[in-house]
Amino acid sequence: MLPKLTRYTRPESLEEALKLLREPGSAPLAGGTQFLAAANPDIEQVVDLQALDWRRIEVAPGWLRLGSLATLAELAQAEALSGPAGGLLRQAARRAGPNTFRNAATLGGLVGARLPVSELLAALLALGAELELAGEAPETVALDAYLDEPRGLIAAVRLPWPQAGAGGAHAIGRTPADTPIVHVTAWAGADGTRLAAGGVGARVARLARAEQALAQGVEAAVSAAAALEPPGDFRGSAEYRRAMLGVLLRRVLRDCGVKD
């Protein structure tokens, strides 16, 4: 329940949305899959973004632009997403939750929810995603920076496109479609290899130290990752998560063809 919620608004324009969002106690609402269950007791106004024209998935020269209101189901089916990079994204979107959830959840909401595990967020991080923030002065921030420090309204997620390279993603769960205990995604592209993982920290994040150590080989990357201090819970202890990070790192790097 959202006890203080008294206003529902559905702005038709960005300006209106920004104005409403500046009012105290306001929050943007996308698919609602996380919003209602999380039931933040301080929210007084929801600003439903659905009327904004932010749903398109389009390829521009050098860029892939995913509108923040595109649903995960739309992403999973998007024809524009071709090649290994497209496959990595679509597969991650397909594996996100059951279909009821994919049909409703949006990319903007996915980022806004800042979950500790999400294979799709990891794929976006590995592919070097940036966010277009809407505001008086539109700006672009790297996805990992936003996850560390969220601010502003996400209009779109942007990726350099097309990307040549190879990717890999592995996850461990109690059942095949369970929320992963640990997951790792790798993308070996022209500008190097990017690694991202969930279940090993407060949020899905790039494995910066492992990426750097990769120059010394796969095992060096694995050792660097072992310095992380994952949280433990009923799905898996810190010790298990740390060990699995290593196992999955080796697997994703093998999938990408990164040799020792």
Partner 1 sequence: MDIQLTLNGERLTWAVGPRERLLDVLRREGCFSVKHGCETGECGACAVLLDGQLAATCTLLAAQADGHALETVEALSRPGQPLHVIQQAYVDTGAIQCGYCTPAMVMATLALLRRNPDPSEAEARDALSGVLCRCTGYVKPVLAALRAARAMRGEALPPIDFGQGHEAPPGLFGGRPGGGAPSQADEPATPRGDGASTLLARVIPDLLIRAEGRKSVGQSEPKKDALKLVKGTPSFTADMEQRGLLHGKLLTSPHAHARIRHIDTRAAEALPGVHAVITYRNVPRVFYASGGQSYPNPQPWDQLSFDTKVRYVGDRVAAVAAETPEIAQRALALIEVDYEVLPAVFDPEAAMQPGAPMVHDEPDAIGILDARRNLVCHIDALVGDMAEGFAAADHLFAREYRVHQVQQTPIEPHVVTTWWDGDERLNVLTATQVPFHVRRMLAPLVGLPARRIRVIKPRIGGGFGVKQEMLIEDVCAHLTIATGRPVKLEYTREEEFRSSRSRHPQIIRYRAGVKNDGTLTALDMRVIGNTGAYGTHGLTVQTCTGLRGLSTYNCPSRRFDCDVVYTNLPAPGAYRGYGAPQAHFATESLMDEIAAELGLDNLELRRRNWVKIGDALPMGGQLGEGAGAIPTVLSSGLEQCVAQGMAAIGWHRKFDPAWRAAPGQPHKRRGLGVAICMHGTAIPGLDMGAASVKLNDDGSFNLLVGATDLGTGSDTVLSQIAAEVLGVPSEDVLIYSSDTDLTPFDTGAYASSTTYISGTAVKKACEEVRGQIFKVAAEILKLDSTEGLRLGGRQVWAPDGQSVSLERVALHATHVHNQHQIMASASYVSPECPPPFAAQFVEVEVDTETGVIEVKKIVMAVDCGVAVNPATASGQVEGGMLQALGYGLCEEMAYDDEGRLLTTRFGDYRIFAAHEMPEVQVILVETEEPSGPFGAKAVAEIPLDGAAAALANALYDATGVRVRQIPLTPERVWQALRAAEARRSPVEESEAA
Ligand X SMILES: Cc1cc2nc3c(=O)[nH]c(=O)nc-3n(C[C@H](O)[C@H](O)[C@H](O)COP(=O)(O)OP(=O)(O)OC[C@H]3O[C@@H](n4cnc5c(N)ncnc54)[C@H](O)[C@@H]3O)c2cc1C
Min dist CB 86 to ligand X, Å, is: 18
- Residue 1 has a CB neighbour count (10 Å cut-off) of 7
Cα angle, residue 251 at apex, residues 249 and 256 outer, rounded to 5°: 95
Is 116 an interacting residue with respect to ligand X (CB under 6 A)? no
Residue 60 to residue 54: CA distance in whole angstroms: 15
- 94 is written with which tokens? 């397909």
One of 22, 79, 137, 176 touching partner 1 (CB under 8 A): 176
The β-bridge partners of 254 are none
CB of 229 to ligand X, least distance (A): 23
Distance, CA of 101 to CA of 106 (rounded, Å): 9
Show the beta-strand stretches assigned E in 18-117.
Answer: 26-29, 45-48, 57-60, 63-67
Q: Which is nearer to partner 1, 179 or 185 (CB)?
A: 179
Candidate residues 84, 86, 108, 168; the one interacting with ligand X per rule CB under 6 A: 108
Distance of CA 85 to the CA centre of its chain: 15
Is 197 an interacting residue with respect to partner 1 (CB under 8 A)? no
Q: How far apart are CA 111 and CA 248, in angstroms?
A: 23
* 59 is a site residue for ligand X (CB under 6 A): no
For residues 93 and 214, which CB has a smaller minimum distance to partner 1 in the complex? Answer: 93
Q: Establish if 107 lies at the interface with partner 1 (CB under 8 A).
A: no
104/134 Cα distance (integer angstroms): 22
Q: H or E element: which one contains 39?
A: none
Does position 110 interact with ligand X (CB under 6 A)? The reply is yes
User: Rule CB under 6 A: is residue 113 a binding residue for ligand X?
Assistant: yes
Q: How many residues bind partner 1 (CB under 8 A)?
A: 49
Indicate whether 37 belongs to the interface with partner 1 (CB under 8 A).
Answer: yes
- Please tell me whether residue 120 binds ligand X under the rule CB under 6 A: yes
Name the residues that contact partner 1, by CB under 8 A.
1-3, 5-8, 10, 29, 32-33, 35-37, 46, 48, 50, 73, 76, 94-104, 172-179, 181, 233-237, 240, 243-244, 247-248
